[in-house]
Structures are given as C-alpha cells and as structure tokens.
Structure 1
Amino acid sequence: MRQAGKFYGIGVGPGDPELMTLKAVRTIRDCDVIVLPVSNRELTEPLLLEQNEMENRAAGYLESCTAYQIAVQTVSELKEKQILFLPMPMIKDKEKLRKIHTRGAEVIEQLLEKGWNLAFLTLGDPTVYSTCMYIEQMIERDGYQVETVSGIPSFCEAAARLNQPLGEQEEQIHILPGSYEAGEGLQLSGTKILMKTGKKMGQIKEFLQGSSQDICLVENCGMDDERIVRSVEEISEDAGYYSLLIVKDRKR
C-alpha cells in the first residue's frame, strides 16, 4: 500500500528572497507539488497544472502570487514543479470561506493519497494571519501528516529595517489585524503592530491624528518597492495591502 504524502505550510519571509530559511528552500525543492493561493475571484475551483500548461489565466495567477515570486528567486526548481492553485478570495463571510477551505483540503488530500508531498507557500510566517493554517488544520484532522516551516514575520523585518526594537524590558507587544477594527487595540500600552492595514488606512490614520505615540509605516517590506513613512501626515490613505504600522509609546 502506497504511503500518503506530507503537507508543508512554508513561510517564505516578508519579501527579500535572501531572508528565506535554509529549511524552507530545502523543503520546497523536495516537494512534488507547490500550492499557491489565488485571490482572483475568477478561480472558483482548485486547478492543478504542469509548468508547460501555464498560459493565459494561470500565468497571471503566478505573477500575482507574491510568495511564489519571492521563492522562485532563490529556488529555481520551482519553475519545474506542478502547481495547485487554490481559490482564496479576500472575503469575510466565514461560512463561504469554510466551504472554500474544505474544498481545497479535499483536493490536497487526493494528491497526498498519491504519495506526493505538497508545499503551500505563504508570505511571512504561516502562523500569523495566514490562510495556509486553515487548510493545514483540516488536513491534520483528517489524519494526514503536516508540518509548518516557519518564516521571518514581516513585523520583525520591518523593525530591523527601522533599526528599532519591538519590545524592551517590560514593554508589551500587541499584534493587530489592520483590516478589522483596530481602534481599541491602538489604545493599549507598549508596541502595537497593525498588519495588512491597506483598506482601513483612512480610518486608522484619522484615529492616530494628534497621537503622542511614535508611528512608522512600512509598505511592501523587503520588496523592490518598499516604502517607509515616519509620520501620520505622510501616510497615504490608499496604501497597499502589504502595509504594516508600528505604533510605539513615546519614551519620556
């Protein structure tokens, strides 16, 4: 009887391909199929393709997958791998998302039953606001082997780019999902990290006006078009999806 394959949730880091871990690189090379999330709502069913089938719509999916574009710069073998595209629309309807994730898990399990190992690539670290973990937990509950390969989180790299600590001594660190209501969280003491703040930037900016806290925005951290802003006034309300805010209590 053929042994089922293994599913890996792999963090490729925040943007700079040199920040990928050695374990992530090795695991991607060893896997048979690469799993990529697709936010484009045109894709409604999981789609498995060989590299020579990447034309038209599928080629666009590859180009728009940030995690793939990071990893392929370090792992040239990615260009030879089969790709499983999974629908992952950016919606908040939990019931619809559950059905989408369930369907994705079903298709992945069919491939695992063939003895194939699969690698789901995700930006940053899989354990921080990643859709990868929803799929991984479903697969694990169904009895398949899974492993999470950690990646450098965007907020750690952003702090490094700013040459500043996120936490010192008794200082607390709070990680907040910027795409949801973050007003109450911004009132917490210590360091507040708002991730993926793009669509709510206008609301967040209004909340921070007149604040006595130190505020830094890092957009597209580690990527070619990285941008750093150090004041509320300079923050654009149409900041991109990969916009991260670090808000710290000002030292006295």
Structure 2
Amino acid sequence: MSGVLYGLGLGPGDPELITLKTVRLIKEADVVAYPALVGGDSFARSIAQEFIPEDCIELSIEIPMAVARAPAQAAYDQGASTIAQYLSEGLNVVVLCEGDPFFYGSFMYLFARLSGEFTTEVIPGVTSISACAAAVAAPLSSRNEVLTILPAPLPTEELVARIGVSDSFAIMKVGRHLPKIKRMLDELGLTQYAHYIERASLPNQVVLPLEDAPEKAPYFSMILVTKGNDPWL
C-alpha cells in the first residue's frame, strides 16, 4: 500500500499556533518535507523543529525566489518526484507549509502533482491575515462588509479599482513594493486607516501605523486597512 501525503499548515510563525492535529502528524511522520530558500534555511522547518522526529527522513525542497516561473516549477517537479518515491514505498510524508497550505501556500503545487495518484490530506493552519488582525487588535470585517486580499505586486490601477469596492482589505507580499503602496494609499486618503505589520506572531514582530512604517519591508509583511468603519455600530 502507498503512504499518505499530508499538507500541514503551521500558522504564521509562533510554534504555539500550530494545531494539535498538525503536531501529531509531524511526530508520526516517516518523511518530513519542507520548502527552503536555495542554499538557505527553511522558515517552515524552524517553526516546527521541536516536533520533528530524530529518526525521520527529512527532505528539503529548495525553491528559487525569482519572477520567472520555470525554475520554481522545475523544483516542484523534482520535489514531487522524490516524494512520490517515498509514498510508493509505503511511507507517510508530511509537507510543512507556513500559514495555510491552500492560502498562497507552496504545498498547492505539490498537491497538483501528487493528489491524483496518492491519498492526500490537507490540514489547515492559522493564516497570516488572522495573525496580523490579532496583532493590530482590530476586526477585519463584520456583518455584510467585504474583505479583499490583494497581492502588492499587482499594477497600481488594479489595486485602486479593487480597493474602491472593498470595505476592508489586506495587502500581502509587500516587500519592495512598500513605497508604491504607501503613495497609493496616501493619494486615496486611506493612510490614517492603515496599519503595517511585519513578522506577525514572532518575537521580532513589528506593528506600526502605516505613516510610521520603514522605507524597506521584508517579504513577510502586510498592510491592513479598514477604511475607518466601526464594525460594532
């Protein structure tokens, strides 16, 4: 019999935000796989490191961080091929994923390659948006309000159009796009409602009004805006 493939959501970074089910599956795993920077460390592994069995097989899948899709797709192809070999041998494989596996998660690319052939289970995790809202101590939306999730690399005109029809929104993958986002929100008159959060739930978490945000932002940063609505009214 083939092994089972598990996509495990680890949450935003604080190990205490990992679900009990995910902890159990990590501890029971034959193979623990995780994405990593090429030649670098794995953030996903660092979140779950205290739960990884000493006698398990570890598989680091190095993903190139480049605009071109081909190098990353090749890395997922190779990673999926290796995982398939372990599953075919009857070993259970867990893939560690920051946040939630199906919310901008790298696991979805392995899922697309393997789920048609092997039994696969996805365990959800706390999303970065939930962690950032908690860090800001502000509700994202209520009743019939519309929450929109926007990747910062989108063209400015598309961001403006989507913001115009949203009650609240989260801008993700801020990084080098922070100056563009700050200018845009200032021109829209929304800076006063915006919060900047980086590395939510981690010891080095930063939470600031957007106007006080630094000029450079790490990849794990986000901007939350609620347009001044009070969900308690």
Alignment TM-score, normalising by the size of structure 2: 0.89
User: By how many angstroms is 1:104 displaced?
Assistant: 1.6
What is the identity, as a one-letter code, of the residue corresponding to 2:138?
A: Q
Out of 216, 219, 224, the position equivalent to 1:246 is 224
Once the two structures are aligned, what percentage of the paired residues are identical? 29
* 1:49 counterpart residue number: none
* 1:36 counterpart residue number: 34
What is the identity, as a one-letter code, of the residue corresponding to 1:172?
A: V
The answer to whether structure 1 residue 235 and structure 2 residue 203 are counterparts is: no
Aligned length: 225
Q: Report runs of 4+ in structure 1 exceeding 6 Å deviation.
A: none
| Structure 1: stretches of 5+ with no match in the other structure | 43-60
What is the identity, as a one-letter code, of the residue corresponding to 1:243?
A: S
* 1:119 counterpart residue number: 94
User: By how many angstroms is 1:80 displaced?
Assistant: 4.1
The answer to whether structure 1 residue 97 and structure 2 residue 72 are counterparts is: yes
The answer to whether structure 1 residue 4 and structure 2 residue 27 are counterparts is: no
Distance 1:227 1:199 in 2: 17
Out of 181, 187, 204, the position equivalent to 1:225 is 204
The answer to whether structure 1 residue 167 and structure 2 residue 134 are counterparts is: no
| Structure 2: stretches of 5+ with no match in the other structure | none
Distance 1:79 1:209 in 2: 51
* Larger deviation, residues 206-215 vs 104-113: 206-215
Q: Secondary structure at the match of 2:122?
A: strand
Distance 1:196 1:8 in 2: 26
Contact 1:198–1:240 (CA under 8 A) maintained in structure 2? yes
User: By how many angstroms is 1:251 displaced?
Assistant: 2.7
User: By how many angstroms is 1:180 displaced?
Assistant: 3.8
CA RMSD of aligned residues (A): 1.8
Match runs of 1:1-252 below 5 Å = 3-40=1-38, 42=39, 61=40, 64-73=41-50, 75=51, 77-141=52-116, 143-181=117-155, 183-184=159-160, 185-213=162-190, 214-231=193-210, 233-251=211-229
1:114-147, Cα deviation, whole Å (9 max, x unpaired): 1111111111111111111111121012x11111
Distance 2:200 2:44 in 1: 13
Distance 1:179 1:125 in 2: 21
Q: Flag the 1:191–1:80 CA change in 2: closer, same or farther, 3 A.
A: farther
Alignment TM-score, normalising by the size of structure 1: 0.83
What is the identity, as a one-letter code, of the residue corresponding to 2:93?
A: L
Contact 1:7–1:145 (CA under 8 A) maintained in structure 2? yes
Q: Flag the 1:79–1:224 CA change in 2: closer, same or farther, 3 A.
A: farther
Contact 1:179–1:199 (CA under 8 A) maintained in structure 2? no
Q: Secondary structure at the match of 1:209?
A: helix
Distance 2:152 2:77 in 1: 26
